[in-house]
């Protein structure tokens, strides 16, 4: 782990990011981040709060739906165990956040932030970041995940300092592919991968930091005109 200590407003923090995450970046030195602190993000309709173990109970109620999991990787156990969300948060996601290798947010509606409706996260890979998300069925088809992706893309490139974001998606996962299209990603390769629903043709979508900043300007311009 690379890093150093810092004192701010009377509190001491360990500043750091994992060595493996550092290798995922290229170009100028990355922005240094608080190892155990992830920013709260906001969009027009959403509040993105850093994942907590307390979110597992709600996730366990919303997440185990075939329409949600069928295009996710086989790392997701199916049938989903009764303690699946709690075990994943406790043993995988939260330790990876602490190590500075992953960044996860629970999605909440700003008008009713008491309970989350889905999740989005970034993971450091060799030479790039990757991203994953899920959204509860009652909230799908409303453009909410596109809002979340725009906010997390900003965090990925502007705060964490990644230069490339790369995401695999099953070709038949139309809704997820549309999110990538709307946020400026492009297909760079195709291959077969295993998902909860079986082995499927997969597209690898990519966007660079410079491409994202160009796309962001277009998105902002369109919002101002609407």
Could you read off the pLDDT of 60-91 as tens digits, one per residue? Answer: 999 999 999 999 999 999 999 999 999 999 99
In this prediction, residues 43-57 reach a mean pLDDT of: 98
Q: In angstroms, rounded to a whole number, what is the distance separating the alpha carbons of residues 129 and 165?
A: 5
Residue 56 lies in a domain: yes
Say which range, 34-38, 95-99, 144-148, 222-226, has the weakest mean pLDDT: 34-38
- What are the residue ranges of helices labelled H in 109-161? 144-154
Whether the predicted pLDDT of 219 surpasses 90: yes
- Of residues 7 and 16, the one with the higher pLDDT is 16
46: containing domain: 2-161
Q: Which two tokens stand for residue 182?
A: 């709307």
Angle of helix 144-154 relative to helix 209-225, nearest 10 degrees?
Answer: 130
- Per the structure, the count of domains in the chain is 1
The region of weakest confidence among 33-37, 107-111, 182-186, 218-222 is 33-37
Domain annotation covers residue 18: yes
User: Closest by alpha carbon to 193, among 175, 176, 171, 212?
Assistant: 171
Return the bridge partners of 139, or none.
Answer: none
Does residue 168 form part of some domain? no
Instruction: State the pLDDT at residue 226.
Output: 82
> Is 122 among the domain residues?
yes
Q: H helices of the chain, where?
A: 19-23, 56-62, 66-69, 84-88, 94-98, 144-154, 174-182, 209-225
Of 28, 34, 29, the C-alpha closest to 3 is 34
89 assigned to some structural domain: yes
What percentage of residues in the chain have a pLDDT greater than 90? 83
CATH number at 145 reads 3.40.630.30
pLDDT of the residue at 21 = 63
Mean pLDDT of 5-34: 46
Please state the rounded mean pLDDT for residues 18-40: 60
- Which position has the higher pLDDT, 23 or 141? 141
Confidence of residue 37 (pLDDT cuts 50, 70, 90): confident
Q: Is residue 73 a part of any domain in this protein?
A: yes
Q: What is the pLDDT of residues 158-211, one digit of tens each?
A: 999 999 999 999 999 999 999 999 999 999 999 999 999 999 999 999 999 999
Does residue 221 form part of some domain?
no
221 has a pLDDT exceeding 90: yes
Q: Name the more confident of 81 and 9.
A: 81
């Amino acid at each position: 782990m690379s890093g150093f200590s810092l004192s701010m407003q009377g509190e001491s923090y360990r500043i750091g990011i994992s060595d493996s995450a550092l290798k995922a970046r290229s170009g100028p030195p990355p922005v240094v981040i608080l190892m155990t602190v992830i920013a709260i993000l906001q969009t027009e309709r959403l509040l993105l709060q850093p994942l907590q173990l307390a979110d597992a109970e709600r996730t366990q109620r919303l997440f185990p739906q075939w329409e949600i999991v069928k295009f996710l990787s086989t790392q997701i156990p199916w049938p989903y165990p009764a303690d699946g969300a709690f075990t994943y948060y406790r043993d995988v996601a939260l330790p990876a956040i602490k190590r500075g290798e992953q960044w996860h947010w629970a999605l909440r509606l700003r008008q009713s932030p008491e309970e989350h409706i889905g999740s989005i996260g970034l993971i450091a890979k060799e030479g790039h970041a990757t991203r994953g998300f899920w959204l509860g069925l009652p909230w799908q088809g409303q453009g909410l995940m596109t809002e979340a992706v725009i906010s997390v893309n900003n965090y990925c490139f502007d705060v964490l300092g990644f230069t490339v974001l790369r995401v695999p998606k099953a070709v038949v996962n139309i809704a997820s592919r549309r999110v990538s299209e709307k946020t400026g990603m492009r297909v760079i390769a195709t291959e077969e991968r295993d998902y909860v629903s079986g082995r499927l043709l997969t597209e690898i979508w990519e966007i660079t930091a410079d491409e994202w900043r160009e796309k962001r300007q277009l998105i902002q311009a369109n919002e101002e005109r609407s």
